Structure 1
Amino acid sequence: MDGFLPISKQDMADRGWDQLDFLCISGDAYVDHSSFGPAIICRLLESCGFRVGILPQPDWRSTQDFKRLGKPRLGVLVSAGNLDSMLNKYTAAKKIRSSDSYSPGGKTGLRPERATIVYCNRVRELWKNVPLIIGGIEASLRRFAHYDYWSDTVRRSILIDSKADLLIYGMGEKPVKDIASQLANGINVSDIRTVRGTCYIAESLDHLWEFIEMPGYEAVSTSKKDFADAFAIQYYEQDPIRGKIVVQRHGAAYVVQNAPLFPLTAAEMDEIYELPYQRTYHPVYEQAGGVPAIQEVKFSLVSHRGCYGSCSFCALYAHQGRIIQSRSHESIIKEAINLTKLPDFKGYIHDVGGPTANFRVPACHYQADRGTCKGKQCLYPTPCNNLNKNHDDYLILLQKLRQLPGIKKVFVRSGLRYDYLMAANDSNFLRELCEHHISGQLKVAPEHVSPHVTALMGKAGIDVFKKFARVYQETNNKLGKEQYLVPYFMSSHPGAGLKEAIELAEFVRDLGYHPEQVQDFIPTPGSLSTCMYYTGVNPLTGEQVFVAKSAHDKRLQRALIQYRDPKNYHLVYEALIKDGRKDLIGYSPKCLIRPPKNQDYPVASQKKKPDKQRRLPAARNK
């Protein structure tokens, strides 16, 4: 049905409905676009013939707002939104963020902390027995006992704390269709126990034939070794082909995770992205200035899901999986043509990609039958011999898109793995990328330079970045284009101390680069790096890992990367003195900062220069 999904009783009445089949509660404002999980789930259920309404950002301080669309016939679906609600509210320094791009006008405070739990509690207050299903990134990554950075505690599974009947983890289209069908056929929600990609609570394990039990909540909340062991089990079983049922005891009950979803076919992906989205926010937000998050994706195209890059600090392996699932060229082109018909489209497609833009096809043909390799990565420490290092499909897609009438330019802005590009040795793709799909700069993420830190991150060494930077520059020179690389770096990742932070600062200095943005590592639930942060151990190897945990130590590392900022002077000075690197305080080009004013600091092997000459390097450091 055309138009937005119902958000009020009047909307329901306009459709001739007196009751919904499913009510979807979301922590985000309602944006009817395929980049927003609640919109996908609701549109998919709608296409199956169900009456679906959405309740975006309800006032959680009472049950009143939750009654707005009435009690649904079959069930309530709850999601915190496109981000974990704690990450959405707080920075790495645990300060409240100044804006919320998923709320009208960017306003903060429109969703509660731990939104999934709070919304579920309100639903249970209203309707004791309504089937309650939770999903989205917050539920997905908190499905087992997990470390919570913001409370600095190990919390129970969100399924236990929310009192929901089912938890959908990962991308939820297949599970929600299966669950909806069973509920519609009169099956009690307590009997829905075999859907892949779901978790449920069981009082015993007598009904299971084959499973892996990991250390329970009581163990992992008191023993970091048990926490690391539990994480390793769940990490290795997140594969749809070889993954087993995993259980974790919580008191007298068990959280049971069914095996992960099988990858979506191209036809299934096409179906999802061709649903009748309005491609914008609901008109009720117009007066507030709209919903900022739509700006990044409104004129972008999702070409695939999944990522086999397996960066340790990213939890995509636990949510979208490592196996690439792609849409057909025809479906993507059809969407691009629809973009050209929008009144505010100016001819520019902002992005074509996924979690990693140039991972368009599965890593290797073995994955279809065997799944991903247990204990091995596709790109790290070096690209696998079986890796499909081919950019042809992606390049052909980009060529087709830029030839469409009404398309002036097709950009690639989502993450691009330069180590994969270098492994492919595909000069043709790089040439076309630089000639047609970049607007002045290309963003890449080496993240760090220390071999020890990049190893813990699961990232390629800095030598690969240097080689790519050289080839990228040569390619642009041949094309007569002045285009730059913008590298992203991360501070305070497990394994990074002052020594490693200074090493990164020296690299930035030699690069002649002034990083405006530096990502402080945030221990979000579900990632390998978060496990290292909490336990001080790499759970996959048993290696002890240094972790900078104090707020001050983190500030020192961040300041070193941005050492040219005058506001960071005292922090940089403190860090260099603390690590015994006085050689980097002085007036030579290799120094990061000058000596403090009014202090006659002796610089090794360097004569004092006249005032005029001493002031020259300062211009370089501004």
Structure 2
Amino acid sequence: MMREFLPISRDDMKKRGWDELDFVYVIGDAYVDHPSFGPAIISRVLEAHGYKVGIISQPDWKNDQSVMALGVPRLGFLVSAGNMDSMVNHYTVSKKRRHQDAFTPGGVYGKRPDYAAVVYGNMIRRACPEKPIIVGGIEASLRRLGHYDYWSNKIRRSLLIESSADLLLYGMGERSIVEVADALDSGIDVSDITWVAGSVFKSKKAEDFGEEAIMLPTFDEIAADKRKYAESFYIQYQNTDPFSGKRMIEKYGARMYVIQNPPAKPLSEQEMDDVYDLPYVRDYHPSYKALGGVPAIEEIKFSLVSNRGCFGGCGFCALTFHQGRIIQTRSHESIVKEAAALTKRKDFKGYIHDVGGPTANFRHPACKHQLKRGACPNKQCLFPKPCSQLQADHKDYVTLLRKLRALPGIKKVFIRSGIRFDYLLADKDKTFLKELCQYHISGQLKVAPEHVSDAVLDKMGKPHHEVYVDFTKQYKKMNQRLGMDQYLVPYLMSSHPGSELKDAVTLAEYIRDLGYMPEQVQDFYPTPSTLSTCMYYTGLDPRTMTPVYVPKDPHEKDMQRALIQYRDPKNYQLVKEALIKAGREDLIGFDSRCLIPPRPMHHGYGKAPAQNRNVRTNNAKNNSSRNGKFSSRNNSRKRTTENISRNTSTNRKKGSQSEKAHRRHE
């Protein structure tokens, strides 16, 4: 069966024999008809329920009439900023404009406005005031109530109000959008659609919406008082579960209320299969080919989504607010069917780049109670230690991966979504660890310990450092048992709330003992609706209401980041200043335990040229003999340094076909 894109023009509508659409979907991304893109899922789900949907991608936001290119829809307009929050898409953590946009044809920057969902909503309201506007997607989902906005450094109103929309749908939205569409199709006015789970609506009165509803602090209160904002945020955080979450009401001014219904229930396995079996073209629209295509497709073209949701509970992650903590999975049959279809594509080279989701090794709810009572509102599944009710079991995932490896035409199946190593350790059966090392990585495994200071990790909601050290030992032991020489590449984060200079120095010392300099460092980015962002803005941990140190000064943030990459000569002055300020002048000198010499030099630190590589190696060996407590030091420092350089630099030699595919995907 020939699969075709949804209409993007009047000519496309005529080819289908359509004079009118039921919904016009205005999106901030290029039109990519692939189930890794939210607008594609929502539009295909509506199509499957008999609705006619057309796409207006990246309209000219300086011309209101650009949103009317497909005419007036019968039922209403849908709006999404795209797969990312438009501000994260546009700006770095230092608030500098990015130069590329992977979700735009040719990677061109500037094809969507800042706060895109707000701008598009108001464009539609001016151009077509009589039709309903339903806004959704990640930008709307995380800004559904009053929220701290990092880029303007203030509390902003609910996006429902700012966008002039009638309804806001949060979360993944498949059930919610069909329920709303059916209500509109039956003639119900959009202002009367107040019951849909996973929706937010406006009202001039609050008393009609249940005695059990929670009255949050008013918008005026949270805008004026950081403590009130922290209190409001934590109430919301405790009501993100579809089974136990309550309706919440936020008052604006004298007579305006924004009312959030509880989240939609998780999809069953069959419902997940149905969503991913819809007739996606699985590519960007052909009109973009002349412009260079859409770069974002390369990351997911040959990847398979196996799950949704995450019970990891990282403080800096918005998944709790968007996908929720209850894991939803596709069946083996659905995933294998999709993989088999990939093998028939002309551009498929035999490498599946990923099988996972937010966290790859979560394939079932954390415990047997979650599908009946939901996730615990006041307790995490893995933090500070794995819950006694946790069901840590990788058998289903292992079986799925074996089926995929056995498919004709599959050379290698990578796991790239990220492995939750504390969950892996909680599983006493080491079969998954063995097969992960043996079949599913190529030379290196990227994991996210984020930091080594337990004080910082507590604020992040991550396991203590000793857990990561235990994992490195087990990973090394398993590779030795298999006769393989593979490495761990840790993702690290600087300047997270709770991180003082002394914590950043401790992290630098750990990196010294590992014998290499990370090439990727993430400075904490305060994105909407995360625990960590609440800490950043308020200086309070909303879980306990205790004060939290927050590194906000740009210069201190530069110092903390520089410490992680202390070997880079351009960071010398920042590192020296940081060590002096932290009272750690003992780390300035020529001893092998020192981070930097007393004055800038070319040897002993930094990215040494090839002829100086032996100096770094000898220093690493000295560190290894002096400090035996880190498991990574059990390897030869020379091998560690050379191997990491080989696997992360642009000068890495050509390897096997699987390694090439792995690098291309990175």
Structure 2 portions without partners, runs of 5+? 602-611, 621-640, 642-666
Q: Is 1:408 aligned to residue 411 of structure 2? A: yes
**In the alignment, what sits opposite 1:179?**
180
**In the alignment, what sits opposite 2:329?**
326
**In the alignment, what sits opposite 1:368?**
371
**Which amino acid in 2 is paired with 1:570?**
Q
- Kept in 2: contact 1:270–1:331 (CA 8 A): yes
**Correspondent of 1:309 among 280, 292, 312:** 312
Three-state SS of the structure 2 residue aligned to 1:256 is: strand
Deviations 1:233-269 (A, max 9, x none): 1000111111110111111211100011111000110
Deviations 1:330-353 (A, max 9, x none): 111111111111111111111000
**In the alignment, what sits opposite 1:219?**
221
**Which amino acid in 1 is paired with 2:214?**
I
Structure 1 portions without partners, runs of 5+? 599-612
Separation in 1, partners of 2:66, 2:134: 19
Pairwise CA distance, 1:440: 1.1
**In the alignment, what sits opposite 2:108?**
107
C-alpha spacing 1:618/1:466, structure 2 compared with 1 (3 Å): closer
Three-state SS of the structure 1 residue aligned to 2:224 is: coil
Separation in 1, partners of 2:446, 2:91: 25
Q: Is 1:56 aligned to residue 57 of structure 2? A: yes
Separation in 1, partners of 2:516, 2:466: 17
Separation in 1, partners of 2:462, 2:494: 14
Separation in 2, partners of 1:525, 1:59: 26
**In the alignment, what sits opposite 2:3?**
2
Pairwise CA distance, 1:388: 0.5
Deviations 1:347-392 (A, max 9, x none): 1111000100001110000111111112100001110111001000
Three-state SS of the structure 1 residue aligned to 2:493 is: strand
C-alpha spacing 1:618/1:399, structure 2 compared with 1 (3 Å): closer
Matches within 5 A, 1:8-19: 8-19=9-20
**Which amino acid in 1 is paired with 2:495?**
S
Matches within 5 A, 1:525-540: 525-540=528-543
Deviations 1:587-621 (A, max 9, x none): 111111111259xxxxxxxxxxxxxx9x9469869
Q: Is 1:522 aligned to residue 536 of structure 2? A: no
Separation in 1, partners of 2:150, 2:287: 35
Three-state SS of the structure 1 residue aligned to 2:541 is: coil
Three-state SS of the structure 1 residue aligned to 2:473 is: helix
- Kept in 1: contact 2:65–2:127 (CA 8 A): no
- Kept in 2: contact 1:379–1:420 (CA 8 A): yes
**In the alignment, what sits opposite 1:167?**
168
Separation in 2, partners of 1:363, 1:67: 46
Pairwise CA distance, 1:2: 2.6
Separation in 2, partners of 1:253, 1:591: 60
- Kept in 1: contact 2:23–2:74 (CA 8 A): yes
Q: Is 1:558 aligned to residue 561 of structure 2? A: yes
Separation in 1, partners of 2:88, 2:33: 23
More displaced stretch, 326-335 vs 419-428: 419-428
**Correspondent of 1:248 among 247, 250, 264:** 250
Q: Is 1:81 aligned to residue 82 of structure 2? A: yes
Separation in 1, partners of 2:40, 2:618: 51
**Which amino acid in 1 is paired with 2:202?**
I
**Which amino acid in 2 is paired with 1:254?**
Y
Matches within 5 A, 1:128-527: 128-209=129-210, 210-251=212-253, 252-527=255-530
Three-state SS of the structure 1 residue aligned to 2:559 is: helix
Three-state SS of the structure 2 residue aligned to 1:221 is: helix
For the aligned residue pairs, the C-alpha RMSD in angstroms reads 1.4
Separation in 2, partners of 1:192, 1:182: 7
Three-state SS of the structure 1 residue aligned to 2:355 is: strand
- Kept in 1: contact 2:169–2:200 (CA 8 A): yes
Q: Percent identity?
A: 58
Separation in 2, partners of 1:289, 1:158: 33
- Kept in 1: contact 2:386–2:426 (CA 8 A): yes
Separation in 2, partners of 1:379, 1:618: 37
Separation in 2, partners of 1:549, 1:416: 30
- Normalising by the residue count of structure 1, what TM-score does the alignment of the two structures yield? 0.96
Deviations 1:152-198 (A, max 9, x none): 11111111111100000111100000001111111111110000000
**In the alignment, what sits opposite 1:610?**
none
Separation in 1, partners of 2:67, 2:619: 58
Three-state SS of the structure 2 residue aligned to 1:147 is: strand
Separation in 1, partners of 2:409, 2:79: 39
Pairwise CA distance, 1:513: 2.6
- Kept in 1: contact 2:80–2:117 (CA 8 A): yes
Three-state SS of the structure 2 residue aligned to 1:530 is: helix
Separation in 2, partners of 1:149, 1:224: 14
- Kept in 1: contact 2:569–2:600 (CA 8 A): no
Pairwise CA distance, 1:206: 2.1
- Kept in 2: contact 1:305–1:355 (CA 8 A): yes
- Kept in 1: contact 2:351–2:413 (CA 8 A): yes
- Kept in 1: contact 2:217–2:232 (CA 8 A): yes
Pairwise CA distance, 1:68: 1.2
**In the alignment, what sits opposite 2:40?**
39
